[in-house]
Amino acid sequence: MILPLDIILLIFLVIAAVLALKLRDLLSATMVFSIYGFLICLIWAEMGAVDVAFTEATVGAGISGALMIATIFKTARKSSD
Amino acid sequence: MSEHLPVIVVLAPLFGAVIVGFFGSRDRRLCFPIALTALALSFICSIGVVHHVATVGAWDYFVGGWESPHGVGIQLRADGVNSLLLLAIAVVALLALVYSIRQDGEKDAEKSPFFYVLFLLLCVGLFGITITGDAFNVYVLIEITALTSYGLVAMGSSRRSRVAAFQYLVIGTVGASFYLIGVGYLYLAVGSLNMADIRAILAANPEIANSRIVGTALVFILLGVWTKMSLFPLHGWLPNAYSYCPSGSANLMAPLVTKVSVYVMIRILFSVFGLGVITENPGWSELVVLIAVGSIVAGSVMALTQREIKKMLCCLIVAEVGYMVGGTWLGDAGRWGLTGSMYHILADAMMTSCLFLAAGVFAKQFGATRLEHLSGLFRRSPWVAGAFTLGGLAMIGVPPMCGFFSKFYLIRGAIESGHWLYIVALLGSSLVNAILFFRIFEIAYFGEVPESSEPFEPSEGEGATPRRYAVWRTAPLLIAAALTLLLGIFNRPVIDLIRGTVVENTGIVSMEE
Amino acid sequence: MQKLFATIAVIITGAILLNAVEDFPRFGDPHSPPNSGVSGGSVSSSVHYLQNTYLDTRVPNVVTAVLADYRGYDTLFETAVILTAGIAVFAILRVVRREDEEESAGSEEKACSGEFSTSDSDGEGRHRVVVGTTCRVVVPLAQLFGFYIIAHGHPSPGGGFQGGVVLGTSFILIALAAGLGSALGRLREDMYLRLACLGVFIYAGIGLLSLFFRRNFLDYGALSGLLQTGGEEMARSHGIFGVELGVAMTVTTVMFALFANLSTRGELKGGL
Amino acid sequence: MMEWMKTTIVPHFNFWIYVVIMMLGLWAAIGKNNLIKKLIGLSIFQTAILLLYVSMGVKEGASIPIVDETMGEAAVDFMAQGGGGAGATAFPINPDLFANPLPHVLMLTAIVVGVATLGVALALCQVIFRDFGTLEEPEILNQIKTIQDDV
């Protein structure tokens, strides 16, 4: 555990979360959501939870994004809010 | 093998699901027998568990053999209440399964193996939640139950079923996550996940038990399970989700999913926090009873406005959940309210199962989805109508039926603890039930047999069904009605078993009537 | 209206949670209740895990051992959740059209024949050269890496779930680069649904074996006679590995099934 | 202000952020109109809970929860020499040197559950889009009102 790194990553995490919810273009929102997943994966690694980090890297930054993009391609790309 | 009964109850449907998934798509005729065998095995095992609990006492089973130190492995625990609930789940699931027998040529026949897989996995979740003794394990099993429910609801043919399923998914996930937050806070305060272990720690350290962390944990666990059981302000998802799903799965979900959530609440209060939280915080328990009263009122009022049979029954579920939550939080010294709630879980599972099976038969056999379609039912099919009448009478609470006895104990608890508002709501709701069901009885008994009754037009979503499957639909209904009656007539042994558990866990001395 | 309600609900929730945060043990405190337990109950399970995992199972990675052995019952249902997701997505989304069956069977065979053939949307053929070549290089590596993760879950981070996702991703990569038909030619639909079920069956079946040795469910130690290992510890280690294989099988297939259904709106034809 | 931050926020910084992210996610899950946005919110909400759990298991100066084999073998030898009893030397594995593995295990399960839910939810989104042609909740609810009585 490295406290300064922890704090910086967490602040980035909040920014990424806000952006992912704020963006109206769903494709960009999904991209930012993948960034969010990758950031949180870094946070797990930094906190010593390597197995969780590994899973989050494959799932949060990988599969979830792919599934969401697949859905967005098959539905609508614009969001009203 | 007999020493493994508690785990076999859960495993039988799991293996059944996997085997159906493996062979079912090759030969669809195999699905039903496999599923039936799996559930029958669960049924037999749960009888064994009940027998053991009734003769020997509570039964602990340590998965993986990790018995000591306590809390390292996962513990299963069967006691007087949840063994009975296991039996009730097995019975209701068997009835729903027999009802839902599919035939070739129906549309989406390719998906029918997967209907059985989801059905059995839902049973796995329900059995597992009931018997587990580990706070986190409950979460995983709640999610199995939830995911299968979303799938089953969305399999309905109405367009609205998909929207209902999506709303159910969002609410259900938030509810389960709240439960997870609560368990997290609890783990943060005591460092254990085993229910019995947490109980011991909280009893030994009053300063932890009274800390803000544990209080917040309780609040969030309760919020989570209340969302899952659709208590009053959080009830919006239930009527849509259950009334638009195919009746085969509604027969399983409507009677059981909410009841099992109620049981989780009772279990958490009972064997994690201790019933002290009810009596030591009279203000809060007063509030919970008020919420329960609100739930009863809301459910009854919504039911009065409905003209669709299934939706009306769904609204009644909300009211029934109010009975059980209120009864649990009455906090009377003799724990009669709690006893009533526990008995009502079983009774309500049986009567809701009976009523939903009847609604399914109405829809499939007579094409009747609304109240006015039922006119002349007694002359058209006296057995179905008779079974529905039994279920309705039980819901109203007419004496020899099981609904009467649970209400009797609930009211006794309310009188002893002085919750008059709850009594008024309970009686008022019974009155509403009486109005609702007698309205149906009137239509069904005195109404004209409609001219076009014989070759009825199948309503959207239910599909035409050949007559030869009628017996598969009617038999479970009749069995459910008979069980509703029997559970009422032979209520003594059931109540004694429940009382035994309550007395053992709360240390009340008096057991006299 | 809905937003206002949401805001109020969220603020109340947050306030309740923050109210309790002040009482939390300090972040990183090694002696907080979860890390070292409190008096009154039995010994803290996390300390027990750290001290005894190697003695009980000979598995250096404590997380793997706890996941698959001590709390294996949870993980069994976690795998069942994955299976449920796969089946539920099939039940919800899959469009089954009988009249198309012959045609789709034909296209599948065509897809099977060519290596990474572009069975659909030929308009962008020239981009496919780059993508297809990259894919041809990366996919075997990704699959090898996936197997490595599964097999190496004992001494290092990883295990059935992570490895399964990586393996599933390799199939998704094929689907993205060469069209879904090409990927489905390698892992057919009835095949992946069966494999998903088989994974859970392997897991539960290994657990069930110990019942025949008069031991509790998922007690891999009972298998020492069957596996011819020196002691119960190594039997547990092997049991964990077998279970991880089951998890990986289910996860691989379900991840691919999710993508295949979602990227074609349940028709399993065409692709993104 | 600085003093307050030092004593209140910094020791619990992870927990404060967890609450903030949880609020963001929950707000989106309930309040957003677009279904995909709801799902992004729901996923963020779930990761917030992961953050709560994993933060509990952190120990200052601790390493990842992998007991390397030399230390493990030392422990085996220790136990073989009847170590538990007299305890002349300390047990070779000091739990303070490793992060708490239990929250990690629990959260692995929770991540898996999260992705399973996401998959099912996205499938529902596509079916809803196929039926209604939109993913905006108010429009869907409007359309539902018009088909109220066709069942």
What letter does residue B74 receive in the DSSP assignment? E
pLDDT confidence band for B102 (50 / 70 / 90)? low
First-to-last C-alpha distance (Å) of chain B: 39
pLDDT tens digit string along B467-477? 556 777 888 89
The larger pLDDT score, comparing residue C198 to residue B248, is at C198
Instruction: State the complex-level ipTM.
Output: 0.93
Helix (H) or strand (E) holding B78: strand B74-78
DSSP SS3 for B20 = helix
Cα angle C217-B131-B501, degrees, rounded to a multiple of 5:
125
Q: Closest-CA residue in chain A for C67?
A: A51
Q: Do chains B and A touch (3 or more CB pairs under 8 A)?
A: no
Angle at C57 between CA C55 and CA C62, to 5 degrees: 90
B270 near B121, Cβ under 8 Å? no
Q: Could you give the angle at which helices B80-99 and B247-268 cross, rounded to 10 degrees? A: 170
Q: What is the pLDDT of residues C127-144, one digit of tens each?
A: 678 888 888 899 999 999
Q: Are B279 and B263 in contact (CB under 8 A)?
A: no
Q: Would you tell me the crossing angle of helices C125-151 and C232-263 to the nearest 10 degrees?
A: 160
Report yes or no: C71 and C65 within 8 Å, Cβ to Cβ. Answer: no
Neighbour subunits, A (≥3 Cβ pairs < 8 A): C, D
Structure token digits, residue D111:
């991540």
pLDDT at B465 over 80: no
Apex B425 CA angle, B423 and B430, nearest 5: 95
Residue-level pLDDT at C23: 84
- Using CA atoms, how far apart are residues C268 and B437, in angstroms rounded to an integer? 48
d(CA D12, CA D18): 10
Residue D88: per-residue pLDDT: 52
Q: Which residue of D has its CA nearest to C51?
A: D93
Query: What residues of D are in contact with residue A56 (Cβ under 8 Å)?
Result: 50, 111
Q: How far is CA C121 from CA A3, C125, C133, C134, in A?
A: 51, 8, 18, 19
Q: In the complex, which subunits touch B with 3 or more CB pairs below 8 angstroms?
A: C, D
**CA–CA separation, B38 vs B65, rounded Å?**
25
Q: How far is B253 from chain C (nearest CA, A)?
A: 16
Q: How far apart are CA C245 and CA B349, in angstroms?
A: 39
Taken in order B10, B16, B22, B28, the sign of the CA dihedral is negative
**Cβ-Cβ contacts under 8 Å for C98 (sequence gap 6 or more):** none
The DSSP secondary-structure symbol of B456 reads P
Q: Please state, rounded to an integer, the average pLDDT across all residues of chain B.
A: 86
Tell me: pLDDT of B323 over 50.
yes
Q: How confident is the model at residue B459 (pLDDT cuts 50, 70, 90)?
A: very low
Contact A75 D34 (CB under 8 A): no
Q: Give residue B293's pLDDT.
A: 93
Looking at chain B, the number of H-run helices and the number of E-run strands are 21, 2
Do D and C touch, 3+ Cβ pairs within 8 Å? The answer is yes
Would the pLDDT of C231 be above 60? yes
Residue B494's CB: how many other CB atoms inside 10 A? 20
**Per-residue 3-state assignment (H helix, E strand, C coil) for B405-441:** HHHHHHHHHHHHHCCHHHHHHHHHHHHHHHHHHHHHH
Q: Which of A14, A18, A50, A51 should one mutate to test binding to chain C, selecting the residue with the greatest count of C CBs within 10 A? A: A51
Closest Cβ opposite residue C30 in set D60, D64, D122: D60
Separation of alpha carbons C164 and B501, rounded Å: 44
pLDDT tens per residue, range B208-246: 888 899 999 999 999 999 998 888 888 888 888 888 888
pLDDT category, C103, cuts 50, 70, 90?
Answer: very low
Q: Each residue of A8-67: pLDDT tens digit?
A: 999 999 999 999 999 999 999 999 999 999 999 999 999 989 999 999 999 988 899 999
Those chains having 3 or more beta-carbon pairs within 8 angstroms of chain C are A, B, D
Which residues of chain C have a CB within 8 Å of the CB of D112?
A: 78, 81-82, 161
Q: Find the range with the poorest average confidence among B499-503, C66-70, C122-126, D43-47.
A: C122-126
* Amino acid at position B447, single letter: G
Cβ-Cβ contacts under 8 Å, D151 against chain B: 158, 160, 369, 459-461
Structural contact between residues B272 and B135, judged by C-beta atoms closer than 8 angstroms: yes
Choose the weakest-confidence range: B145-149, C38-42, C95-99, D133-137: C95-99
pLDDT band at B160 (very low <50, low <70, confident <90, very high): confident
DSSP character string of A56-75: HHHIIIIIHHHHHHHHHHHS
| Position C112 confidence tier, pLDDT thresholds 50, 70, 90 | very low
How many residues does this entry show for chain C?
A: 272
Residue (of C245, C201, C205) closest to B22 by Cα position: C201
C-beta atoms of B190 and C81 within 8 A: no
Nearest CA to CA, how far is D128 from chain B (Å)?
A: 6
User: Judged by CB atoms within 8 Å, which residues 6-25 of C form the interface with D?
Assistant: 6-7, 9-11, 13-14, 17-18, 21-22, 24
CB-CB neighbours of C14 under 10 Å: 17
Q: Is C121 on the interface with D (CB under 8 A)?
A: no
Give pLDDT, residue C242: 93
Average pLDDT over chain D reads: 86
The pair phi, psi for residue B267, each rounded to 5°, is: -65, -45
- Which pLDDT tens digit goes with each residue over B345-381? 999 999 999 999 998 888 877 777 787 777 777 777 8
Q: Of all helices (H) and strands (E), which one includes residue B272?
A: none
The reply to whether residue B150 touches residue D124, judged by beta carbons under 8 angstroms, is: yes
Bigger pLDDT: D7 or B208?
B208
Whose tokens are 């009644």? That residue is: B316
- Which residues, 6 or more positions from C250, have their beta carbon under 8 angstroms from its beta carbon? C79, C82, C83, C86, C164, C195, C196, C199, C200, C203
- How much is the average pLDDT of C51-66? 90
Strands B74-78 and B59-63: antiparallel
Contact D62 A48 (CB under 8 A): yes
Q: In this structure, what are the phi and psi dihedrals at residue B329, rounded to the nearest 5 degrees?
A: -95, 10
Question: What type of residue is D51?
Answer: L
Per-residue confidence (pLDDT) for residue C110, from 0 to 100: 42
Burial C206-218 (b: 16+ CB within 10 A, else e): bbbbbbeeebbbb
Highest mean pLDDT among A29-38, B27-36, C94-103: A29-38
Give the integer Cα–Cα distance in Å for C66 and C72: 7
Percent of chain B at pLDDT above 70? Answer: 93
Quick check: helix, strand or coil at residue D32? coil
Looking at residues B271-298, what average pLDDT do you find? Answer: 88
The answer to whether the beta carbons of residues B93 and B255 sit under 8 Å apart is no
Model pLDDT, residue B458 = 44
Nearest to B350 by CA among B290, B303, B393: B393
The three-state DSSP-derived secondary structure of chain C is CHHHHHHHHHHHHHHHHHHHHCCCCCCCCCCCHHHHCCCCCCCCHHHHHHHHHHHHHCCCEHHHHHHHHHCHHHHHHHHHHHHHHHHHHHHHHCCCCCCCHHHHHHHHHHHHHCCCCCCCCHHHHHHHHHHHHHHHHHHHHHHHHHHHHHHCCCCCCCCHHHHHHHHHHHHHHHHHHHCHHHHHHHCCHHHHHHHHHHHHHHHHHHHHHHHHHCCCCCCHHHHHHHHCCCCHHHHHHHHHHHHHHHHHHHHHHHHHHHHHHHHCCCCCCCCC
The reply to whether residue A66 touches residue C166, judged by beta carbons under 8 angstroms, is no
Which residues from chain B sit within 8 angstroms of residue C217, using beta carbons? 4, 7, 11, 63-64
Q: Read off the pLDDT band of B1 (50, 70, 90).
A: low
pLDDT single digits (tens) D121-151:
999 999 999 989 889 988 998 888 887 554 4
Per residue in B173-195, pLDDT (tens digit) is 999 999 999 999 999 998 889 99
First-to-final CA distance of chain D: 62
Question: For residues B357 and B99, is the Cβ–Cβ distance under 8 A?
Answer: yes
Q: Among all chains, which residue has been given the structure tokens 């070739």? A: B104
